[in-house]
Chain A
Amino acid sequence: MTLTKADLADMLFDKVGLNKREAKDMVEAFFDEIRASLAEGDTVKLSGFGNFQLRDKPQRPGRNPKTGEEIPISARRVVTFHASQKLKGMVELHYAKQQQRSSNH
């Protein structure tokens, strides 16, 4: 069971009252704007959820695992996500509660 864009659109339909079309477009636009900001080199900070940051990685030596041939891994920019304290707390709390429940049985 995985949460997808369709599930998020359903939530907008239920909770915000957007129609199906608007809900689908809104979910698409939400991720589109975040992507555009990151593509421009701008960090995205969503308080209560987490931050999407950019890291510039220098070139480093790599190896073709099949042939053992050395090939450099080119310098690149990558996205990293740092969950907020709130999100980390929610994850830990839910897990702790689940553990407690199973030990009570």
Chain B
Amino acid sequence: MTKSELIAKLTERYPQLVGKDAELAVKTILDGMARSLSQGQRIEIRGFGSFDLNYRPPRQGRNPKSGAKVLVPEKYVPHFKAGKELREMVDGETA
């Protein structure tokens, strides 16, 4: 499912909304989540999961083309942990 398919599903679900509204809603939710996470604020969605940032210490890397050593600075990377309900729904067939 892509973003536009998600927008289509939400429009179908809320026929009273103008198509534009579902599009703007999806954009607003995703922008809000991205902004929050990039500012170091964690996200917790009950029944879905949580997003936070994981620390990556600085490390010695290599330029794969030239082979030259480069120092990769410390950074934070986004991390998602599925909530219980999502975990169980996804694992439904194999459980």
By a beta-carbon cutoff of 8 Å, the part of chain A in contact with chain B is 1-5, 7-8, 11-12, 15-18, 22, 25-27, 29-31, 33-35, 37-39, 42-50, 52, 54, 56, 74-81, 83, 86-88, 90-95
Contact = CB atoms under 8 A, between A and B. Distances in A.
Contacts, number: 158
Q: Which 6 residue pairs are nearest across A and B when measured between Cβ atoms? A: A81-B80, A90-B38, A83-B78, A39-B89, A37-B1, A3-B36
B70 interface: no
A79 B86 contact: yes
Given A18-B25, A30-B10, A47 B42 contact: no
Interface in B33-59: 33-49, 51, 53
A92 B76 contact: yes
B32 interface: yes
A63 to B, nearest CB: 21
A43 B42 contact: no
A91 B47 contact: no
A95 B75 contact: yes
A35 B95 contact: no
Contact of A91 (B21, B77, B92, B94): B77
Contacts of A29: 10, 13-14
Contacts of A38: 86, 89-90
A39 B26 CA distance: 20
24 contacts: A1-B41, A3-B36, A3-B43, A8-B33, A11-B32, A16-B25, A26-B10, A30-B26, A33-B1, A33-B10, A39-B89, A44-B6, A45-B3, A46-B30, A50-B80, A56-B94, A74-B94, A79-B87, A90-B38, A91-B77, A91-B78, A92-B76, A95-B40, A95-B75
